Amino acid sequence: MTDSDALRAQASRTRVSVDQAAVVPGHGMDELQRLWTPWRLSYVRDPDAVAAGCPFCRLPGRGADHDAESLIVHRAASVFVILNAYPYNPGHLLVVPFRHTPDFGALTSEELHEMADLSQRSVRILRETSGAHAFNVGLNLGTTAGAGIADHVHQHVVPRWGGDTNFMPVIGKTRVLPELLAETYTRIAPAFARD
């Protein structure tokens, strides 16, 4: 029996206090399970990343000739689609306006409509190229809401499959991704060109 199994067994036999609830999965102040992603904190707080400037401005600013190495799979008039460098699942895309703004309310009608259109297109392409069963699509507006890059609005399109969550990220502090980013790029970028 692992330490984690022992902790769960003990928690199921005893009343768990509020102080202990934070460390016993499934025994919090509510019945929700928590998925902790501590490996992302180093990225969120990385001073070198801050010094390098906004990646959503810097990467497309390198020009279309560098899109493959920048992981940009599609460029439109006011918005681009890029693979998340820290994906939750293979094919995790970000739909991003070229214009730097942290304020969703400041997006122009063109930017807003193009983000919606490209998010819809991303879902269609990911379904075609990866056979995803479902999707999480959404915005994290501000650091408190979970945005890793809060100063530049972006929308996540995350493909999901039945059973795609497992113990590795939580217990092993390891995310299991069955495909390298370069392979994901090679699979998805041509689909945007055809679509």
Query: Range of 5's domain?
Result: 1-34
CA distance 95 to 157: 8
Under the banding of pLDDT at 50, 70 and 90, the label for residue 11 is very low
- Both 85 and 105 in one domain: the answer is yes
- Both 41 and 27 in one domain: the answer is no
Residue 55 in this model has a pLDDT that exceeds 80: yes
- Both 83 and 169 in one domain: the answer is yes
> Minimum mean pLDDT among 43-47, 58-62, 186-190: which range?
43-47
- Both 63 and 29 in one domain: the answer is no
- Both 27 and 42 in one domain: the answer is no
- Both 78 and 99 in one domain: the answer is yes
Q: What is the reported pLDDT for 51?
A: 52
- Both 106 and 10 in one domain: the answer is no
CATH of the domain at 132: 3.30.428.10
- Both 157 and 102 in one domain: the answer is yes
Average pLDDT over residues 48-66: 84
- Both 1 and 48 in one domain: the answer is no
- CA Rg value for the chain: 19
Q: What angle do CA 20, 22, 25 make, to 5 degrees?
A: 100
Q: What is the reported pLDDT for 152?
A: 95
State pLDDT tens for residues 122-172: 999 999 999 999 999 999 999 999 888 999 999 999 999 887 665 555 555
- Both 24 and 41 in one domain: the answer is no
Q: What is the reported pLDDT for 176?
A: 60
**Domain count of the fold of the chain:** 2
- Both 72 and 124 in one domain: the answer is yes
Q: What is the reported pLDDT for 167?
A: 52
Q: What is the pTM of this model?
A: 0.71
Give the active site residues. 154
* Nearest Cα residue to 94 out of 109, 72, 110: 72
